[in-house]
Amino acid sequence: MQRVATMHPGVIPGTLYRHTNMIVKFVTYFILPYLLRRPTFSALLVVHTALRDDLVTGSYYEDGVPKRLGDKLTEKDKQSIYESVQRQVKVWSRLED
């Protein structure tokens, strides 16, 4: 059985802002690394969460803990999103073959 969940690894300084102005680059490369997570820590958090025995399918995780996103989406919307993701996963898996 496949288990599918989403998670936020945390904000990580990186090359996302490499094409921005000098002020944003300065903050990104010289200040934020002291305030944000390291990429290795976030990678370990993702792996730890993905390999949990108690992973709840369809959940959203932050810091390895399932979070309730509220009831902002109807069941129909949730099902539509799930089906869309499943279709995209099938496309990606065909690309790997």
Per-residue model confidence (pLDDT) at position 44: 94
Any domain includes 50: yes
Any domain includes 96: no
Any domain includes 86: no
Is residue 13 predicted with pLDDT exceeding 80?
no
Domain region containing 58: 6-69
- Please tell me the distance from the alpha carbon of residue 66 to that of residue 87, in angstroms, as a whole number: 25
Q: Diameter of the chain by CA atoms?
A: 48
Number of domains in the chain: 1
Any domain includes 78: no
E strand map for 1-97: 6-8, 60-62, 65-67
| Helix and strand totals (H; E) in the chain | 4, 3
Give the sign of the dihedral formed by CA 18, CA 85, CA 43, CA 96: negative
Per-residue model confidence (pLDDT) at position 45: 93
Segment 21-38, tens digit of pLDDT: 999 889 888 998 899 888
Contact predicate 36/59, CB 8 Å = no
Any domain includes 19: yes
Per-residue model confidence (pLDDT) at position 46: 92
Segment 42-89, tens digit of pLDDT: 999 999 998 988 988 888 899 888 888 766 788 888 889 889 989 998
Query: pLDDT-based confidence at 3, cuts 50/70/90?
Result: confident
pTM of the complete model: 0.60
Any domain includes 88: no
Any domain includes 91: no
Any domain includes 57: yes
